[in-house]
Amino acid sequence: MRVTFTVNGRTRQADDVWEGESLLYVLRERLGLPGSKNACEQGECGSCTVRLDGVPVCACLVAAGQAEGREVLTVEGQAAHAARRSRDRDQDPRQHEDTPNAALSPVQQAFVDAGAVQCGFCTPGLIVAAGHLLEHNPDPSDEDIREALSGNLCRCTGYGTIMDAVRLAAARKSEEVRA
Amino acid sequence: MTSPRRATTPAPGTAPAGAPTRLVQGAHTSGGIGASVLRPDAGLKVTGRFAYSSDLWHEDMLWGHTLRSTVAHAEIVSVDISEALATPGVHAVLTWDDLPTEVRHYGLEIQDTPVLAHGKVRHHGEPVALVAADHPETARRAAARIEVEYRELPVVTDETSALAPDAVLLHEHRTDPCSGRVPHPNIVHRQPVVRGDVARARDRADVIVRGEYRFGMQDQAFLGPESGLAVPEEDGGVHLYIATQWLHSDLRQMAPVLGLPEDKVRMTLAGVGGAFGGREDLSMQIHACLLALRTGRPVKMVYNRFESFFGHVHRHPATLRYEHGATRDGRLTHLTCRIVLDGGAYASSSPAVVGNAASLAAGPYAVDHVDIEALALYTNNPPCGAMRGFGAVQACFAYEAQMDKLAKELGMDPVEFRVRNAMTQGTVMPTGQVVDSPAPVAELLRRVEARPLPPQRPWESGEGADLRQLPGGLSNATHGEGVVRGVGYAVGMKNVCYSEGFDDCSTARVRLEVMGGEPVATVHTAMAEVGQGGVTVHAQIARTELGVAQVAIHPADTRVGSAGSTSASRQTYVTGGAVKHACEQVRRRVFEIGRRRFGTRHPAWDGARLLLENGKIVTEDGEVLAGLAEVLRDEVVEVVQQWRHRPTEPFDPHTGQGNGHVQYAFAAHRAVVDVDTELGLVKVVELACAQDVGKALNPPTVAGQIQGGTVQGLGIAVMEEIVVDPVTAQVRNPSFTDYLIPTILDTPDIPADVLELADEHAPYGLRGVGEAPTLSSTPAVLAAIRDATGLELTRTPVRPEHLTGTE
């Protein structure tokens, strides 16, 4: 079958998709977007987290056909998505360019700076999940962060630096707002 | 990248105030050792652009799939591949009969593992046949059409069934090096360690405690599944892009099976999604290459999580029987123990795990009279091998439970009792080896003990009080009526690097040249970066040793000599040592070139000690002699250097005596837990760690290792176990739905206290970091749960039914 949907703001089309293929498979193997990861393919680890019409989902549990006509945001689109939001909110295009590395979203930059990345296989899913959290709850408590990221397994870090990264991204955001 | 600290404070090793200033190599170059340098691959990893082994793609590539046995022990009566082969889209189906050479087994220490099953399967999930097809689902469906007829055999599942007089032998006619030393062919390897006179020492004991402990089978659960891409090459060879822990070990095992000389099997490290020991053994390496060579097309293989549970070895489950004695004043008199590890169907690294378990069975305590025996069984359970902590983890769980029992029996504080018996530098190990570098066991315990305790019942009051802090969280918790608090301590020791006489070396190629007017160093090793941060540290070492800002890390491959394994906490020590050594040779050559070109201009070129700092050649007094760019011009300095740590020796087969290890790492934990005694739920509130790392080459990376290792130990304590059916030897929970690893909700704050007591034998005085925190974490949590509940709790993991008495 043919599946057409929007990925990171661009209309994409995949042909000859077998009905049993997941959204994750189509993203990774047909659209050249392997950033969403395949750690369990059982909906348990969160490494394939993408946003489907804004809502975080495990792409491995979404049949590709279910994405027809919908909007998907993956880790590859995270920086552009954050920049767009920032522009829309502030009407100030310089805002984003002033961040230390404009190729990264604030959450991505915070993961780098906080040392929240080791093997990095869980990282794309966490970036998407944490980005969603901070959009809806810009000043989360530790318990809020834990709850929001409880569907994302990490085997390397012990989560301490991931907590630090989300706190850091939130703190920078609130500084930005105050300034 | 720079460290702000380094710019404002003198670096370690520089002279105290008032003394004449003498520079130390690299101390004034930013981003060197000791600096909090960020990972070079973090940007790629947070944007999804880092290419892991499962992300690879090649035009015309096929997908490989493995058919695995559905039973644990059976004769293979027949295999019919005709329907599978006739499936549209299928390009090849391979079985044992298709293997190209007479070498059809592999293994890390004993070559007992068939590439594909022949005649028999010995464990659930053993590879039987391979399929290559144009779509992964086609390959899976074709594999399902292969008809395998099994005639089931009785299963060997434990010591009793393995050593029974009529026991079925897992491997008949053994000729491996261990086979002559074992009392039964179903024992892979056995190592006694005996020292002193236990019988007389026992007479002096005022108290004797005994315990039998059971340790469950743990999975490494690295997130990036086994995967890789094999590309056939025009010269008849193959290029494998692979996630592994040791490229050259894979190569050595693969080439003879493929019937190719090693130089026709090229290996490049693809992105590795964690390892923790689970990638020491081969998984799909040979299989993908066989399919690629057969079809003439690139073949990608990616396990899903279900298959991954069958695709790698696990941590040995163990039964440990311990007896300790002590005098009334709290001094250990003796120790006897017997550690039985279940090695499963194939040897993997069981012999080395046995060596560790035996030699480290007493833990970080001074005890002169010991009678220790460790052994690994062959059974029809899943094969077990390397995992973080490697034999020392199981022992630590048991001896630390014993320490608490003894303290209780003596009416002593558990930390005080441990401190009284803690080993120090100079202590003689049960193996007779003298501990010849700092062993701050007592101090580590004191440090975790001295930390303030977290507040009681945090969900009720205080800043950030939140019902989600209850054991079990919000979803199924009570209001905490049955919640009790407990505190527990543990300390452990782990050997660093390969042991028992293994020639543990590494290779580094370091190149220095001028590019765009700037001196640039390139470091090329075959070290597997699996997430630990070796790539960060190698660049730091090169900056320190060569005084340059720009360091490129060449991708790891087999075009440079072996780096040894990314395991045994050894890579910073050994490959770091090789990089350091190679840089020193490069530095020497640069000085020679400088002398040749400028030697007549300044007397300091002759005689004075020269250094490389900030891209310049300087004297010890800081006088600049020349810039690196003007010295090198278009000359390229390249050095390939092998480096090895001081040798170790095998343990005596009968007494276990010998200088078997090169270094030890020590860590201590204090666990604070809240246990809901009605629901049987455990919330680990805090898990504080103190560890001596000798020298923290990258402090945040060290902290990351401590926190990550600690949480894997927490997992053992309260949730992680591969459950194997005792009757059928089949794995019951091969999924992340049923095999639980800690989530961010299960994981507490892990304050880490890092000591830096230099080991004079090691590069920069460093001590391997990765494994020690996994040892003491588990027993500390168990001790805290025992403290909270008063229960004896002798097995891992502790499950709700163990706490509610509803087993």
pLDDT at B453: 97
Measuring CA to CA, which residue among B497, B535, B524, B564 is closest to residue B244?
B564
pLDDT at B23: 79
Give the start-to-end residue ranges of the domains of chain B.
4-30+505-644, 62-153+230-274+279-311, 441-494+661-804
The better pLDDT of the pair B472, B39 is held by B39
Q: Which residues pair with B194 in a beta bridge?
A: B371
For A117, the closest chain B residue by CA position comes to B42
- Judged against a pLDDT cut of 90, whether residue B5 lies above it is answered with no
For chain A, say whether B272 makes contact (Cβ under 8 Å): yes
ipTM above 0.90, yes or no: yes
Residues of A in contact with B745 (CB under 8 A): 146-147, 150
**Alpha-carbon span A98 to B650, nearest angstrom:** 60
Q: What is the mean pLDDT of residues B590-605?
A: 94
Q: Is B359 helix (H, G, I), strand (E, B) or coil?
A: helix
Q: Do B654 and B667 touch, CB atoms closer than 8 A?
A: no
Residues of B in contact with A157 (CB under 8 A): 704, 707-708
Name the fold adopted by B62-153+230-274+279-311. Aldehyde Oxidoreductase; domain 3 (3.90.1170)
Same domain for A22 and A85? no
Same domain for A110 and A173? yes
Sign, CA dihedral A24-A29-A35-A41, equals: positive
What does each C-alpha distance from B805 to B215, B261, B677 come to in angstroms? 19, 60, 10
- Judged against a pLDDT cut of 60, whether residue B670 lies above it is answered with yes
CB contact under 8 A, A115 and B224: no
Tell how strand A3-7 and strand A71-73 pair up. parallel
Write out pLDDT tens, residues B149-159.
999 999 999 99
pLDDT at B22: 73
The structural domain count of chain A equals 2
Name the fold adopted by B441-494+661-804. Aldehyde Oxidoreductase; domain 4 (3.30.365)
Question: Which residue range(s) make up the domain with A153?
Answer: 78-178
Residues of A in contact with B221 (CB under 8 A): 155
Write out pLDDT tens, residues B698-739.
999 999 999 999 999 999 999 999 999 999 999 999 999 999
Same domain for A43 and A109? no
What does each C-alpha distance from B284 to B63, B254, B303 come to in angstroms? 12, 11, 9
- Judged against a pLDDT cut of 50, whether residue A98 lies above it is answered with no
Write out pLDDT tens, residues B211-261.
999 999 999 999 999 999 999 999 999 999 999 999 999 999 999 999 999
Instruction: Give the count of beta carbons closer than 10 Å to the beta carbon of residue B122.
Output: 27
pLDDT at B141: 98
Count A/B contacts: CB-CB distance under 8 Å.
190
Helices and strands of chain B, counted as H and E runs: 19, 30
Amino acid at B357: A
pLDDT at A177: 76
CB contact under 8 A, A34 and B55: yes
- Judged against a pLDDT cut of 50, whether residue B9 lies above it is answered with no
For B388, the closest chain A residue by CA position comes to A156
CB contact under 8 A, B50 and A152: no
Split at pLDDT 50, 70, 90, the class of A101 is: very low
Same domain for A60 and A111? no
pLDDT at B413: 98
Residues of A in contact with B747 (CB under 8 A): 158-160
**Alpha-carbon span B736 to B718, nearest angstrom:** 15
Question: If residue B791 lies in a helix (H) or strand (E), which one and from where to where?
Answer: none
Same domain for A69 and A82? no
- Judged against a pLDDT cut of 50, whether residue B12 lies above it is answered with no
- Three-state SS sequence of B85-153: HCCCCEEEEECHHHCCCCCCEECCCCCCEECCCECEECCCCCEEEEEEECCHHHHHHHHHCCEEEEEEC
**Domain's final residue, options A19, A45, A73:** A73
Residues of B in contact with A78 (CB under 8 A): 47
Q: Is B401 helix (H, G, I), strand (E, B) or coil?
A: helix
- Judged against a pLDDT cut of 70, whether residue B161 lies above it is answered with yes
Degrees to nearest 5, angle at CA B333 with B331 and B335:
120
DSSP A11: E
Sign, CA dihedral B693-B695-B700-B702, equals: negative
> Please, which residues 613-632 of chain B have a Cβ atom closer than 8 Å to chain A?
none
**Alpha-carbon span A33 to A24, nearest angstrom:** 9
User: Quick check: do B4-30+505-644 and B441-494+661-804 share a fold?
Assistant: yes
| CATH number of the domain that residue A27 is part of | 3.10.20.30
pTM: 0.96
Tell how strand B314-315 and strand B384-385 pair up. parallel
CB contact under 8 A, B48 and A76: yes
Q: What is the mean pLDDT of residues B754-783?
A: 98
**Radius of gyration, alpha carbons of chain B:** 28
| CATH number of the domain that residue A162 is part of | 1.10.150.120
**Domain's final residue, options A49, A73, A97:** A73
Q: What is the mean pLDDT of residues B296-313?
A: 98
pLDDT at A97: 42
**Alpha-carbon span B14 to B105, nearest angstrom:** 55
What does each C-alpha distance from A113 to A116, B40, B523, B565 come to in angstroms? 8, 11, 24, 29
**Alpha-carbon span B804 to B702, nearest angstrom:** 38
Write out pLDDT tens, residues B53-92.
999 999 999 999 999 999 999 999 999 999 999 999 999 9
Q: What is the mean pLDDT of residues A96-110?
A: 73
Write out pLDDT tens, residues B541-561.
999 999 999 999 999 999 999
For chain A, say whether B605 makes contact (Cβ under 8 Å): no
**Alpha-carbon span B771 to B775, nearest angstrom:** 7
Q: What is the CATH number of domain B4-30+505-644?
A: 3.30.365.10
Instruction: Give the count of beta carbons closer than 10 Å to the beta carbon of residue B455.
Output: 12
Same domain for A89 and A156? yes
Strand order through the sheet with B120-121: B120-121, B74-80, B147-152
Q: Which of B229, B307, B685, B744 to mutate to test the interface with A (most CBs of A within 10 A)?
A: B744
**Alpha-carbon span B454 to B457, nearest angstrom:** 9
Split at pLDDT 50, 70, 90, the class of A95 is: very low
Rounded to the nearest 5°, which phi and psi values hold at A107? -70, -45
- Judged against a pLDDT cut of 90, whether residue A83 lies above it is answered with yes
Residue B91 C-alpha from the chain's centroid = 38
Comparing CB atoms, the residue among A35, A115, A153 nearest residue B223 is A153
What is the signed CA dihedral for B227, B232, B237, B241, rounded to 10 degrees? -30
Instruction: Give the count of beta carbons closer than 10 Å to the beta carbon of residue B319.
Output: 18
**Domain's final residue, options A73, A104, A127:** A73
For chain A, say whether B738 makes contact (Cβ under 8 Å): no
Q: What is the mean pLDDT of residues A57-75?
A: 98
pLDDT at B16: 44
Compute the nearest-CA separation of A175 from chain B (Å).
21
Question: If residue B223 lies in a helix (H) or strand (E), which one and from where to where?
Answer: none
Q: Is B784 helix (H, G, I), strand (E, B) or coil?
A: helix
Mean pLDDT for chain B overall: 95
For tokens 């804004």, the residue is: A54
- Judged against a pLDDT cut of 70, whether residue B8 lies above it is answered with no
Split at pLDDT 50, 70, 90, the class of B21 is: low
For chain A, say whether B277 makes contact (Cβ under 8 Å): no
Q: What is the mean pLDDT of residues B333-349?
A: 98
Write out pLDDT tens, residues B564-580.
999 999 999 999 999 99
Residues in chain B: 807
pLDDT at B516: 93
Helices (H), B521-627: 534-546, 571-598
CB contact under 8 A, B43 and A101: yes
Write out pLDDT tens, residues A148-159.
999 999 999 999
DSSP code string of B440-491: -HHHHHHHHHHSPPPPSSTTTSSTT--GGGSTTTTTS--SSTTEEEEEEEEE
Same domain for A34 and A68? yes
**Alpha-carbon span A45 to B142, nearest angstrom:** 28
Sign, CA dihedral B256-B261-B264-B265, equals: positive
Residues of A in contact with B222 (CB under 8 A): 119, 121, 155
The better pLDDT of the pair B182, B5 is held by B182
What does each C-alpha distance from B775 to A150, B395, B400, B490, B796 come to in angstroms? 25, 9, 10, 9, 13
- Judged against a pLDDT cut of 50, whether residue B313 lies above it is answered with yes
Residue B19 burial by Cβ neighbours in a 10 Å radius (0-12, 13-18, 19+): exposed
